[in-house]
Amino acid sequence: MASGESQQAQQNWRYCGGQIKLWREEAGVSRQDLANEAGYDYEYIKSMECGRRRPTLRLLQAADQLCGARGKLIAGHEHLKPEPFP
C-alpha cells in the first residue's frame, strides 16, 4: 500500500474496530464469545478491534448479530474495501 492509502486504511480499520468493540461491550459480549462465533482466535479479534488488522466481513457479520446492531456494523465493510485504481 502507498503511505497515503495505508494511513487512510489504518484510520478506517481503527474506527471500524473501535465500533465493534463499543457494540460488543455495550451488548455484554466477551471478546472470546465473539472469537468463537466468528471462528477466529482471541488475539486475531483483538488485532481487528485495535485497528492492526482489517476487520473481515465474517467478523462484522458475527459482531452485528451477537450485539444486535441490526446491520450497522456490517455497513462499515464498505469503508474497508481497497480504493479502486484511478
Instruction: Set out the domains of the chain in order of their start, with CATH numbers.
Output: 3-80 (1.10.260.40)
Q: What are the pLDDT digits (tens) for 29-46? A: 999 999 999 999 999 999
pLDDT value for 79:
86
Judge contact between 20 and 60, C-beta under 8 A: yes
Q: What is the pLDDT of residues 50-66, one digit of tens each?
A: 999 999 999 999 999 99
- pLDDT on residue 10: 87
**End-to-end Cα, the chain, rounded Å:** 15
pLDDT of residue 45: 97
The more confident residue out of 82 and 53 is: 53
